[in-house]
Amino acid sequence: MSFLDLFIRKSSSKISDKQLKEMLESSNPPLLIDVRTPQEYSGGHIPKSKNIPVQNFEVSIKKMGLELDSPVVVYCQSGMRASEATKILNKLGFKETYNLGGIGNWSYGLKR
């Protein structure tokens, strides 16, 4: 692995709700993860998202056995926990990570 590969793997991209919607409707949708608490998640979440609180994030992701080239999108309430989660994903070697930021950035309706 070259130095450049290491640098590229450690970055994640901000994503808009429109981009995320298009990705979710594609033939290769990303894993969408809500890193808020279960209580926050039950109050409303983006459809098709999986709740993995940031407190258990690294252990839970490792247990899932995902391919490192699988696209993963994370979000939380304001964006802070999502940033923490993308850092963990990048540390684990995921190559395609995206950060929606806060749930308020999603304008297509929530599932309750």
At 12 the pLDDT is 80
Q: Are 35 and 52 in contact (CB under 8 A)?
A: yes
At 10 the pLDDT is 54
Rounded CA-CA distance 31/15 in Å is 14
Domain 3-105, CATH 3.40.250.10 — does that match?
A: yes
Q: Are 70 and 94 in contact (CB under 8 A)?
A: yes
Rounded CA-CA distance 24/20 in Å is 6
Q: In tens digits, what is the pLDDT along the chain, a chain of 112 residues?
A: 444 444 444 568 999 999 999 999 999 999 999 999 999 999 999 999 999 999 999 999 999 999 999 999 999 999 999 999 999 999 999 999 999 999 999 999 999 9
Rounded CA-CA distance 32/30 in Å is 6
